[in-house]
Copies of this chain bind each other. A is one copy, B any other.
C-alpha cells in the first residue's frame, strides 16, 4: 500500500469518515495495516473483484449499488464458512476521467455494508488505468479454531436448503436488461431491491453455526445448479432436488439457469437438526427453503412433481468458457 500525494489525499478522502475497526493497531496511512486477531481463532480470507461490463453496468447500477453488491459478494463467502467478518482492504483501478465522487460513493457504500456485519476497511489502493474500472476487495474474518464450515462435510441423506429466495436478483437484472433501452423502471421494486441491495447472510450463518447441524455450505452466487454440483462433488455424494420447491425451476426452465446474481447460501443439514436450523435461520432473517437432499452415488437429479426423475443440467457463470 502506498502514498502518492494527490492520490494519497484522494485515498485519505475515500477512507476518512468510515467506521474504524476493532483490534486495528495500525490503520490506513502506513505501508501496511496491523491487526490483532484473537487468540484461539482462525483467520478466514476471501477476495472478489468486480469489473465494469462484467459484474456491473453503470447504466443500470449506481455507485451505491455497486458498493453494496461488492460487499455482498465478499460477505457471502465468509458466511459460507461461518466466519465473523472483521477487516477488509479495498482496491480500485479507474480511468483518470472517472469522477472521484462516484468512486468514493462505491467505497463508502461497500464499507458501510461491510461495517453492518462488523468489518472495517483498513487499507487499500487506487490506481489509474485505461479501460473499464474494477474493484477488488479482500475480506478477512474470524472463526473459532476448527469451527469453520466447508463444502465437503455433507453426507447422503442430509437435507439441502437455500437461504432466502435465490433467483430474485437474476430476474431483476434480466428484466432490467431486456429490450433496446435497459432500465430498472420495468422491474418490480421488491425484485430490484434484491439486486441493488442484496441481504447479507452473515447473521444467519453465525446463528446456524451456534445451532449446529450444518455439515456443508457453499455460496450460490454463480448459480444454484453449478454450485450444488461443486458441493455434492466435494462431499462425494449425489443429490436429488424437488421440482416443486421454490427456487428450483421445473421443466425447461432449468436449462436457462445461469449465475443467480443472488448472494444466498446452499446448506447440507443433518436431518435431525433441520428444524432447529430452520428456526435459527428464520430468527436471523433468512428463512430456509428445503430443496432436496444429498444422495448416494454421484448423480444430480431433479424429481418432478409427477415423481419422475431427470438429470439436472445447467452450470454456473464461466468467465473463460
- Chain A residues with CB under 8 Å of chain B are 1-7, 10, 25-26, 30-37, 39-40, 42-49, 51-55, 76-78, 80-81, 83, 87, 89, 91, 93, 96, 122-132, 134, 136, 138, 140-141, 143, 145-146, 148, 150-152, 217-219, 221-222, 226-227, 230, 234, 315-321
Contact = CB atoms under 8 A, between A and B. Distances in A.
A257 to B, nearest CB: 13
B53 A123 contact: no
Nearest to A80: B31
B4 A319 contact: yes
A181 B319 CA distance: 35
A93 B3 contact: no
A3 B320 contact: no
A107 to B, nearest CB: 14
A7 B80 contact: no
Nearest to A218: B31
A320 B2 contact: no
Nearest to A78: B32
15 contacts: A1-B47, A4-B226, A5-B316, A25-B146, A30-B234, A31-B218, A32-B78, A32-B81, A34-B45, A34-B148, A35-B44, A39-B40, A47-B125, A49-B136, A136-B136
